């Protein structure tokens, strides 16, 4: 551990030998193509599939009526059950895999055409005759809860899914009333599309012999996918088989059992043959869950010294037209639990109006609620510094939870184990040469450019589900097989977890095999990967299973070394008898374990230990200081991120190379949110305008600067490895760092109000408006 071990798994990937789900086909496979709504909101008046059914190569066309008539498919689930302060449940609208009466967002699913080739299926979709009655729609989040907005669900008055409050607001209002100083901000956290590079693809299949429904699809854990699918097809667990091969990125949107996957499985069962869907990028843009999309007003009351007396947050969060698996939980639970992030806040009130609109449902995307929380706090801190006439670093130091307060229970009752915020921030400032900004600012000014520097300090809560599965199976040839319920889809767990096992057992890498949660027939247990949980959950599970192996191995070693168990010591892969000095390796013990002649009487063959790990801590708390320095051309509004520095506290680092890779990727996504990415719907028609990479601006290499990242390893006190999550910090720290840098650059021009993405147009317009 702690070494930048290179990834053996790379060889397959750099040579084109990886197997993504579109890279293979099953015998007798047909192809499916979907009919999707072109309208934001419409009644389906009539639907005639006759012509499509008769098209060349078409072997089946199915609509919502067919699925509903079959009666064997439940509604799409939502597993985040959010209540209001009075205990009233949220409104959970019914969502069928295929809609037959009404469509509620551009891209909503209506039918599937199955044909012998993909092209035939595609062509036939256009032959479906469908008549719509267009209805008024609403796509703007703030407008969606206004009284005159188009209503989407009759039972959800004012398009309100739920009005969440953490407590009553009277106390914070009183504090704000009497506070000597109050900082206020109005923020938009823009809607993002995760856009992993592998588009959506899946094969549904059916095994008639066993009655097993089968799904091949990229995911963030076949086990996690299975746990959602079984809510829709309520079968015995072994009658649903999910297989995920190489997966081209996840970022939170790939862990969900989307309606398309359900429909493919159902269709394969109807037709008794495999059905493959090759989604194109447009389908990914319109039907992968979107994310973020919050409108927030926040207030920070302070005493005469700038110390915060409390926090008030009022957010309208768009959940889209339907509830996806975790959608309403993102702003009310995922983000809310870390509200206040790294600051000491005596009283916190948070209100979230979770609102429907005629848009793609939102759900988790890298950070899932925590980037929003960081953006609020870091924007407030900057505003607070202005209100108080204080330095932004000074006001943060004043309000940070001090080191001596840990473990610290935050305002949402979460015990935070550790953090050294001032130290981490100072390390980042040094890395960024924070103190040299004035000279660089003057230099930029000589060339007619405006330079600014900004800090974003984030804290997020990582861990996801608190249970996980690990197993270390020693083979007859002395090698070890790691089995774990997390699922690597780019993170390099095969390397990181081998490092953990190597340190625990002394076994060399070449003597290890790695199987993770990509096939429910092989590793049915576990919760997959997401929420930056894999090292703290999968890693710890493996470590504990390895320790059990060593303990059991000691019994066998003692027997083989002909001495008492208490006279055997294990170190670096070898058991040594302290009396005779004789030794035997773990590998040799493993080989012996497969030969009953070599084992003590009555001992079963094998050396194979499971760990069903349940963590005690709620979460752990990666945190870090991100500093962006920008140079703006006031003539064009173009922003150049001239330097970007960060120091992250992710606890103990298993592999610094993999860790930095995660940080880079998260920062790039955060820069994408801050500067480039914007999911656009037309206000009048509800039409989706971000359907391709021509419309939705993905960061390119030339748009991301060199990333100067370091770490401050503050050991996590709540797991065996001391690790904290690593994958999601960058997209929490980058947006506020950039926003604060841009506002710093433009402050002399009187620009105070800007919203992400900070496009040249927006910056230029703000400059003009301030003149």
Write out the residues near another protein by the rule CB under 8 A.
4, 6-7, 10-20, 22-24, 119, 194-199, 246-249, 251, 280-282, 489-492, 657-658, 660-661, 664-669, 692-694, 698-702, 704, 706-707, 730
Of 16 and 448, the one with the shorter C-beta distance to another protein is 16
Residue 218 Cβ vs another protein, minimum distance, rounded to whole Å: 9
State the Cα–Cα distance between residues 573 and 549, nearest whole angstrom. 12
Of 475, 482, 479, the C-alpha closest to 511 is 479
What residue spans of 563-634 are helical by DSSP H? Answer: 586-593
Instruction: Write down the least CB distance from residue 279 to another protein, Å.
Output: 10
Question: Which lies closer to another protein via its Cβ, residue 26 or residue 749?
Answer: 26
Nearer to another protein, 408 or 696 (CB): 696
Q: Given the DSSP bridges, would you call strands 480-484 and 408-409 parallel, antiparallel or unpaired?
A: unpaired
Distance CA 390, CA 410 (A): 25
What are the CA-CA distances from residue 679 to residues 78, 87, 324, 672, 733 (Å)?
23, 34, 18, 12, 21
Q: What distance in Å separates the CA atoms of residue 295 and residue 549, rounded to the nearest whole number? A: 52
Q: Exposed/middle/buried for 280, CB within 10 Å: 0-12, 13-18, 19+?
A: middle
Minimum CB separation of residue 4 from another protein in Å reads 8
Q: Which is nearer to another protein, 164 or 676 (CB)?
A: 676
Q: Which one, 571 or 694, has the nearer CB to another protein?
A: 694
Contact 643, 441 (CB under 8 A): no
CB 55 within 8 A of CB 122: no
From the CB of 760, what's the least distance to another protein, in Å?
17
Which residue number, 12 or 747, has a Cβ lying nearer to another protein? Answer: 12
Class of residue 25 by CB neighbours under 10 A (exposed 0-12, middle 13-18, buried 19+): exposed
Identify whether the C-beta of residue 601 lies closer than 8 Å to the C-beta of residue 609. Answer: no
**CB of residue 7 vs another protein: minimum separation in angstroms?**
7
- Position of tokens 């009658």? 239
520 Cβ contact list (under 8 Å, min separation 6)? 222, 223, 226, 240, 241, 242, 243
Q: Least distance from C-beta 264 to another protein, angstroms? A: 19
- Find the shortest distance in angstroms from Cβ 12 to another protein: 8
Give least dist CB 442 to another protein, A. 24
**Least distance (Å) between residue 360 CB and another protein:** 18
Closest contact distance (angstroms) between CB of 309 and another protein is 39
Dihedral pair phi/psi, residue 162, rounded to 5°: -165, 145
Question: Least distance to another protein from the beta carbon of 676, Å?
Answer: 12
- Structure-block tokens of residue 81: 């059950």
Nearer to another protein, 687 or 765 (CB): 687
Question: Which distant-in-sequence residues (6+ apart) come within 8 Å of 192 by Cβ?
Answer: 290, 291, 292, 293, 365, 672, 673, 677, 679
What does the alpha-carbon distance between residue 517 and residue 735 come to, in Å, rounded to a whole number?
33
By beta-carbon proximity to another protein, the closer residue of 506 and 710 is 710
Instruction: Considering the complex, state which of residue 22 and residue 629 has its C-beta at the smaller distance from another protein.
Output: 22
Measured distance CA(552)–CA(611) in Å, rounded? 14
Q: Where are the beta strands (DSSP E) in 303-405?
A: 311-320, 348-356
Note whether 347 and 170 are within 8 A (CB).
Answer: no
Q: Specify the residue, 251 or 343, whose C-beta has the smaller distance to another protein.
A: 251
Shortest separation between residue 247's beta carbon and another protein, angstroms: 7
**Of 286 and 342, which has the nearer Cβ to another protein?**
286
| SS3 track for 269-300 | HHHCCCEEEECCHHHHHHHCCEECCEEEEEEE
Enumerate residues 6+ apart whose C-beta is below 8 A from 283.
34, 36, 107, 199, 200
Considering the complex, state which of residue 22 and residue 609 has its C-beta at the smaller distance from another protein: 22
């Amino acid at each position: 551990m702690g070494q930048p071990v290179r990834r053996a798994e790379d060889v397959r990937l750099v040579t084109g030998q990886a197997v993504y789900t579109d890279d293979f086909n099953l015998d007798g496979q047909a192809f499916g193509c979907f009919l999707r709504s072109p309208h934001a909101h419409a009644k389906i008046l009539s639907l005639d599939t006759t012509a499509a059914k008769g098209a060349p190569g078409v072997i089946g066309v199915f609509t919502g009526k067919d699925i509903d008539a079959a009666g064997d498919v439940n509604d799409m689930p939502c597993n985040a059950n959010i209540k209001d302060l009075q205990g009233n449940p949220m409104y959970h609208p019914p969502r069928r895999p295929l809609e037959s009466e009404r469509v509620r967002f551009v891209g909503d699913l209506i039918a599937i055409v199955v044909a012998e080739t993909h092209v035939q299926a595609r062509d036939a979709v256009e032959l479906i005759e469908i008549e719509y009655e267009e209805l008024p729609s609403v796509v703007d989040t703030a407008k969606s809860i206004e009284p005159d907005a188009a209503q989407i669900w009759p039972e959800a008055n004012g398009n309100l899914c739920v009005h969440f409050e953490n407590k009553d607001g009277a106390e914070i209002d009183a504090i704000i009333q009497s506070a000597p100083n109050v900082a206020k901000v109005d923020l938009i956290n823009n809607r993002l599309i995760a856009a992993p590079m592998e588009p959506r693809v899946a094969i549904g299949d059916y095994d008639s012999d066993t009655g097993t429904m089968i799904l091949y699809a990229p995911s963030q854990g076949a086990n996690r996918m299975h746990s959602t699918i079984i809510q829709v097809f309520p079968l015995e667990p072994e009658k649903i088989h999910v297989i995920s091969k190489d997966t081209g990125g996840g970022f939170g949107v790939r862990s969900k059992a989307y309606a398309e996957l359900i429909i493919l499985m159902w269709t394969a069962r109807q037709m008794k043959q495999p059905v493959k869907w090759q989604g194109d990028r447009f389908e990914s843009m319109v039907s992968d869950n979107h994310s973020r999309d919050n409108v927030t007003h926040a207030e920070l009351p302070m005493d005469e010294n700038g110390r915060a007396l409390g926090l008030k947050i009022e957010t309208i969060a768009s959940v889209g037209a339907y509830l996806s698996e975790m959608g309403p939980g993102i702003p009310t639970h995922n983000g809310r639990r870390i509200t206040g992030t790294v600051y000491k806040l005596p009283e916190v009130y948070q209100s979230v109006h979770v609102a429907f609109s005629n848009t793609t449902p939102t759900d988790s995307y890298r950070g899932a609620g925590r980037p929003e929380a960081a953006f609020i706090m870091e924007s407030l801190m900057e505003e607070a510094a202005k209100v108080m006439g204080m330095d932004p670093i000074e006001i943060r130091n004043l309000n940070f939870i001090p080191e001596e307060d840990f473990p610290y229970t935050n305002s949402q009752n979460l015990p935070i184990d550790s953090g050294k915020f001032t130290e981490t921030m100072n390390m980042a400032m040094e890395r960024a040469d924070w103190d040299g900004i004035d000279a660089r600012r003057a230099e930029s000014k000589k060339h007619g450019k405006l330079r600014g520097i900004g800090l974003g300090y984030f804290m997020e809560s990582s861990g996801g589900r608190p249970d996980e599965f690990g197993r270390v199976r020693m083979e007859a040839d002395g090698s070890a097989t790691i089995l774990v319920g997390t699922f690597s889809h780019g993170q390099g767990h095969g390397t990181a977890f081998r490092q953990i096992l190597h340190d625990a057992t002394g076994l060399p890498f070449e003597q290890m095999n790695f199987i993770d949660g990509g096939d429910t027939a092989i590793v049915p247990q576990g919760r997959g990967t997401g929420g930056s949980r894999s090292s703290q959950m999968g890693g710890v599970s493996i470590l504990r299973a390895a320790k059990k192996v060593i303990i059991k191995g000691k019994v066998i070693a003692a027997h083989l070394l002909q001495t008492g168990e208490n006279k055997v010591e294990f170190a670096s892969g070898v058991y040594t008898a302290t009396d005779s000095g004789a030794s035997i390796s773990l590998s040799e013990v493993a080989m012996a374990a497969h030969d009953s002649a070599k084992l003590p009487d009555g001992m079963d063959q094998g050396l194979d230990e499971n760990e069903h790990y349940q963590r005690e801590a709620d979460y752990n708390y990666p945190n870090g200081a991100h500093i962006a320095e920008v140079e703006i051309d006031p003539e064009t509004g173009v922003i150049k991120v001239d330097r970007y520095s960060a120091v992250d506290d992710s606890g103990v680092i298993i592999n610094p190379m993999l860790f930095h890779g995660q940080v880079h990727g998260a920062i790039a996504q955060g820069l994408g949110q801050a500067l480039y990415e914007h999911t656009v719907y037309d206000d009048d028609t509800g039409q989706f305008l971000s359907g391709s990479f021509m419309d939705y601006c993905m960061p390119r290499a030339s748009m991301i600067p060199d990333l100067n990242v370091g770490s401050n390893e503050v050991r996590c006190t709540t797991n065996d490895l001391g690790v904290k999550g690593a994958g999601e910090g960058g997209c929490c720290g980058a947006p506020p760092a950039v926003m604060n840098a841009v506002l710093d650059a433009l402050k002399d021009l009187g620009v105070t109000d800007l919203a992400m993405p900070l496009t040249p147009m927006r910056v230029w317009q703000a400059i003009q408006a301030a003149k």
